[in-house]
Amino acid sequence: MNVILPTDQSRMQEIADKVRNGERLSLEDGVFLYQSDDLLTIGQLANEVNLRKNGRKVYFIENLSLYFTNVCEAHCAFCNFRKDEGQEGAYTLSGEQMIEYVDQHYHPGVREFHIVGGHNPHVPFQYYVDSLKALKDRYPDVTLKAYTAAEIDFFSRISGLSYTEVLQELMKVGLASLTGGGAEILSDQYRKKMKVTKADVSQYLQVHRAAHNLGLKTHTTMLYGSVESKEDRIRHMMQIRELQDETNGFLVFIPLSMQPISPKASIKRRNSAFEDLKTIAISRLMLDNFQHIKAYFINIGLQLTQVALTMGANDVHGTMVKERISHAAGALTPEGITRDELIWLVKGAGRVAIERDTLYNEIKVYE
């Protein structure tokens, strides 16, 4: 472990003063925080910011994860979810087939369908529209948080419609918010290394800009822990921060810890707990214009999620029944969690659990 030198202490103090005075952190500040091993100070600063923004409230939602197809034209190096058409395990569900699945897992407390999937070029854009319509017709009171910015870009390419036109067609059948996926690391160099052939950096940001301009609130992510540098991560946050300055359309930032391909992968193939907590805390400090930072228990585990609530996170996602993408990549966590367990998780960190809807309207407070 590196010893923090007096010069590092004074640098950390400068950053602490900026945070406490409400000054925006720079690229150099963010990189310094990543290089420091003073996790407790970084976490304490993030906790101060979070308490100032949200008090002791921690949010969760009752949601159900749905995947209409795993057939995908992209071959991202980190993905173990995708399949080729005709490959064993490949599937493309009709609206009726998805309804049958949802009927088996739905209960009246479910408020959101979290819908993502492959970029399947063997079906037309109308298939993706009809998929949402089938769900909305059957479950009119459940919010449709559907598709990533990369999927919207894909729909634009196969339909010939602009991003705005694609979003408008989906909104007509009930789309209420975009998921945050597809961001990975917002660096074209990273995307080339990791064979991310879907939406590039500018396209990802442009889709969210178009959604925000239509009045949609969206989510955004960062998939960290592979070939990117610490500077890449900070630049990612700064690009998201800049768009938020422009549109104020993002609801929450979700750092996603990269999962190894195999569930049997050793601890050396996974991000450290230290790195996961530091990333959540730095996210809170860099993204001064974001209200919510999520600790995604599917990727970092339940107990680390609990600790993250004292280091800047104020959202623990949701019940997430039958999550598949991270688990296909080697996540060791449960595929879902009960409401009671989520509430216990939050209360165990000395926080107040708040059940929310997709747009962070408060449904119920669990004192």
Q: What is the pLDDT of residue 282?
A: 98
218-275 pLDDT per residue, tens? 999 999 999 999 999 999 999 999 999 999 999 999 999 987 666 666 666 789 999 9
The pLDDT value recorded for residue 341 is 86
- Is 78 annotated as ligand-binding? yes
- Gap between the Cα atoms of 35 and 44, Å rounded: 17
- 275 annotated binding-site participant: no
Question: What is the structure's pLDDT at 331?
Answer: 46
Domains in the chain: boundaries:
8-366
Instruction: Please tell me whether 154 is known to bind a ligand.
Output: no
| Domain 8-366: homologous superfamily in CATH | Aldolase class I (3.20.20.70)
Q: Is 231 annotated as a binding residue?
A: no
Please list the ranges in the chain whose pLDDT falls under 70: 1-6, 260-268, 320-336
60: annotated binding-site residue?
no
